[in-house]
Amino acid sequence: MNDRLKVFSGTANPQLAQEICAHLEVALGAANISTFSNDNIFVHIGENVRERDVFVVQPVQTPASIVELLLLLDTLRSASAARITAVIPYYSYARSDKKDMPRISIAARLLADVIVRAGANRVLTMTLHSPQVQGFFSVPCDHLAATPILCDYFAAKLDLSDFVALAADAGSAKRAGAYAQRLDIPLAFVDKRRVSDLDVEVRNVVGEVRGKHVIIFDDEIAAAGSLAETVNAIRRFDVGDVYAAATHGVLSGPAPERIRDMDVREVVVTNTVHVPPEKRDAKVTVLSVASLFGEAIKRIHTGESVSALFS
């Protein structure tokens, strides 16, 4: 790649940014990010970005990661970058996409507005919990899917002749359908109700899973309560081996312990979110999406089609 392309990273997932740079064969841009004793965050860009095509890699997961992203965008805008693309592998507030109870914020839209106001001319993200959030940005937004990464892994590892793809809920059926179609296996889904922030109740399984091996597909695994209930529910149908796959391995709160106790062969996630060693149970496999993001960045930089990646 030429020197007009620059990639910078916040502190939320620098490992992924380094892998993306390795794919692009460019050096990660110099950015000094530090925190003062009063928790204020300081950002300094350590190289010239004037009239460059700049990409900022930062998952939006914690308050600090959001502030870092906004400060990086604003700093690069002030430094006269020609175009700034916010590369957000994980956009956690995508769950807050509607006003489904009184007196709450539609946080996904609010954050989208703030990111654009801070300086983003374009957004590149992956597997939004609610796909309509892509339309909340007033600048172009490319929405990637981890489907080829996850499917290629299972296709190389397993004989899929007796497998079923299982959507974690009815709302995920369309997304899981893309996995089922790519793997050429049947699709089923779970009817469930959320009873608290950490727990859900499974009512029924729609589709034929009895006697089959199952791969449960979801967009993310946070506290893993939904996954645990789903696994327990389908065990009542005498299924064979159970695998689970999700794009975002957040693995928050009780998730690592729940996965250890779960009757599954393997839980496969990607590195859109950094998964530290203490959360990587022997059952947990983390796949890299760096090549997919790297190829998308290359295509954005050169003006080629991003959607063609999934053709």
Q: For the domain bounded by 5-145+290-310, which CATH number is listed?
A: 3.40.50.2020
Question: In the annotation, is 192 catalytic?
Answer: yes
pTM of the model: 0.94
Looking at residues 188-196, what average pLDDT do you find?
76
Whole-angstrom distance, CA of residue 111 vs CA of residue 114: 5
More confident residue, 289 or 192: 289
Catalytic residue among 6, 157, 174, 192: 192
pLDDT tier, 170 (very low <50, low <70, confident <90, very high otherwise): confident
Whole-angstrom distance, CA of residue 222 vs CA of residue 184: 28
Is the pLDDT at 297 greater than 60? The verdict is yes
pLDDT tier, 259 (very low <50, low <70, confident <90, very high otherwise): very high
Is the pLDDT at 281 greater than 60? The verdict is yes
Whole-angstrom distance, CA of residue 41 vs CA of residue 117: 19
Is the pLDDT at 92 greater than 80? The verdict is yes
Is the pLDDT at 88 greater than 90? The verdict is yes
Give ∠ CA 273-140-143 in degrees, rounded to 5. 40
**Architecture of the domain defined by 147-287:** 3-Layer(aba) Sandwich (3.40)
Over residues 260-277, the pLDDT tens digits come to: 999 999 999 999 999 999
Looking at residue 199, its pLDDT comes to 61
**Phi and psi angles of residue 130, each rounded to the nearest 5 degrees, phi first:** -120, 105
Biggest alpha carbon–alpha carbon distance for the chain: 61
Over residues 10-47, the pLDDT tens digits come to: 999 999 999 999 999 999 999 999 999 999 999 999 99
Start-end of CATH 3.40.50.2020 domains in the chain = 5-145+290-310, 147-287
Over residues 40-87, the pLDDT tens digits come to: 999 999 999 999 999 999 999 999 999 999 999 999 999 999 999 999
Whole-angstrom distance, CA of residue 151 vs CA of residue 159: 12
